[in-house]
Structure formats: C-alpha cells, structure tokens
Amino acid sequence: MAKAPEHEHPKKAFGWAARDSSGLLSPFKFSRRETGEKDVTFKVLYCGICHSDLSLVKNEWESNQWASISNGSRA
C-alpha cells in the first residue's frame, strides 16, 4: 500500500517556482522527504539563477511541468 503524500514527504520546504512560461517566479511551499542517513544538509544563504534555469522557467525546451523549481545545480 502506498504511503499518503504527507507521510512520504513530511518535511516542509520553500522555494521560488515558475507556474507557467511567463518567466515570473513566485513563492512556493512544498514537501520533501526527510533527510536520510547518507544525505548532507546545508543552509543556502545566497543563490543565483543561470541561463539554463531561465530556459527551463520559460519552457524554451518544451519539457517543463508546472510548478517548476530550479534545481540549483551550482548551490
């Protein structure tokens, strides 16, 4: 039996998300899984956005699903 989403991903999180291809980002609350034994936790104080992030937000590659949160690959 599958776990309910609130049990499978109980950790509350916050990010900035694109909700459509306008390129605008807005505050977005979501849930993620608990940090595991082999995971690393760190606090991001500052973050930028790169050209690939902008292409994803604007759906220039026609592969996006909404809401979309940039993965912060350089964090």
pLDDT per position as a tens digit, 12-71: 888 888 888 888 888 988 888 888 899 998 888 887 778 888 887 788 887 776 666 666
pLDDT of residue 6: 66
pTM over 0.75: no
SS3 for the chain is CCCCHHHHCCEEEEEEEECCCCCCEEEEEEEECCCCCCCCCCCCCCCCCCHHHHHHHCCCCCCCCCCEECCCCCC
pLDDT of residue 63: 76
pLDDT of residue 66: 65
